[in-house]
Amino acid sequence: MSMVDVIARKRDGGELTAAEINSFIRDYTAGTIPDYQAAALLMAIYLRGMNRRETVDLTLAMANSGDMLDLHDVAPFIVDKHSSGGVGDKTSLAVLPLVAAVGVPVGKMSGRGLGSSGGTLDKMESFDGWSWALSLDQFKRQLRDIGLVLAGQTNVLAPADGKLYALRDVTATVDNGSLIAASIMSKKLAAGADAIVLDVKTGSGAFMPTVEAATELAQLMVDIGEDAGRHVVALISDMNQPLGHAVGNALEVREAIDTLRGGGPEDFWEHCRVVAGYMVLLAGKAATLAEAEAMIAAARADGRGLAKFRELVVAQGGDPRQVDDPDRLPKARYVEPIEATRTGYISAMDTAELGWVCVRCGGGRMVKSDKIAPGVGFILPVKIGDHIEAGQEIGQIHADDDMTLQQAQRDIPAAITVSDTPVSPLPLFYATIIGKSGKGQ
């Protein structure tokens, strides 16, 4: 295969064959195609696009570039979820144990925080001793024993994605639907999922700022999953404001525990119930979404979800006393009020900026080597549509030093737009895309 010919054909708007895509991924992963030729092809794809068949072929080639997990010797059917990331999105912490508690095995590989979005592994590391580093044997054993695993991503799964993403990041080729979809779905396919629920965020705190862009990406990922023989559902969900009230690692863990205990913010529980319901539905444990959601609600009400979460913490070395008594979780040195600066109705939030406030407090990483302060962050119960008064306490900031505390007290109100006229609350979900092999409602 001549890489120059392949680059030229895509540059001119032509299609690449499956054999050419497979050769490119195989040889680039092996190091025999130089970065400059790979970068040229990525830019040609970015500018000219890929059709559905090419995108599926690219995804499958990336998925097959390393190990492909087969978990069927320990679980007959595996359901996974993916969130495109957001502020206050601690959904996995509540959803995964609830789904596992009703008898649906969940083996999930998660990542760390990215930009203003928090990472599931960072949140779980709020538990003393908890570890995400599991061998394949440990992963399978835990999946067999308790039906729930939450591990870190490994370089042996879809290694082509890691190389390509690093190159895309420095060649201005990140923001392309086919490349984004292939990156996400290749890892999910390699991780052994039979069914996948995609939670695609849209809004001021999301990678996809508009409902239209989020829907287009979601449809493409559903199509890829379908062509790869997986059951897939995509939910287009709102990220124009933080999900729930808590933003920050230990604060979000506490909110997830509160939710599993039957409390927690209503918007967060509603979101979890729907996502978990679709996971149960895709697994064939319920005939309708309503039945699946009722099963999830029952597992929350009778404590099975919380018990399963505790099992997860214990199985991976964490301290169960911190589940039983969340006051044992890490805390910030200072807790001070956040006050509204004007009277009116909350009409918008710069949710990405709110996420960056948490990062600047030490709750995320500005550079890869940064150490996270697990106790910092903020609690922000107010939502778009709420009426607030100037000087009213609208939340609390949790910080470890006076400088970041004072800065956050200024930055959070500045990220909230207040209107003189009433504003309607926002929906949690905008659309649902169900693949042809998915289940109905």
| Residues designated catalytic | 82, 161, 168, 183, 187
Sign of the CA dihedral with 166 first, then 171, 172, and 173 last? negative
What is the H or E stretch that residue 339 is in?
A: strand 334-339
Cβ contacts of 88 within 8 Å, gap of 6 or more:
118, 242, 243, 244, 245, 246, 247, 252, 268
Residue-level length of the chain: 441
Q: What are phi and psi of 355, to 5 degrees?
A: -65, -40
How large is the greatest C-alpha to C-alpha distance in the chain, in angstroms?
Answer: 68
At 306, which amino acid appears? L
The whole-angstrom separation of Cα 230 and Cα 1 is 31
User: What does each C-alpha distance from 290 to 50, 114, 277, 295, 380 come to in angstroms?
Assistant: 37, 34, 8, 9, 30
The whole-angstrom separation of Cα 118 and Cα 296 is 25
Yes or no: say if 357 and 415 are a contact pair by the CB < 8 Å rule.
Answer: yes
What is the H or E stretch that residue 90 is in?
A: none
3-state secondary structure of 342: coil
Where would I find the H helices in 75-176?
Answer: 91-101, 120-124, 136-146, 159-169
CA torsion angle for 273, 276, 278, 279 (degrees, to 10)?
Answer: -170
In the block, which residue shows the tokens 């990062």?
A: 359
Q: What are phi and psi of 370, to 5 degrees?
A: -60, 140
Name the CA radius of gyration of the chain, rounded. Answer: 22
- Local structure of residue 236 (DSSP, 8 states): E
Which of these, 428, 345, 430, lies nearest to 382 by C-alpha position? 345
The whole-angstrom separation of Cα 381 and Cα 308 is 27
Number of neighbours of residue 403 by Cβ within 10 angstroms: 11
3-state secondary structure of 36: helix
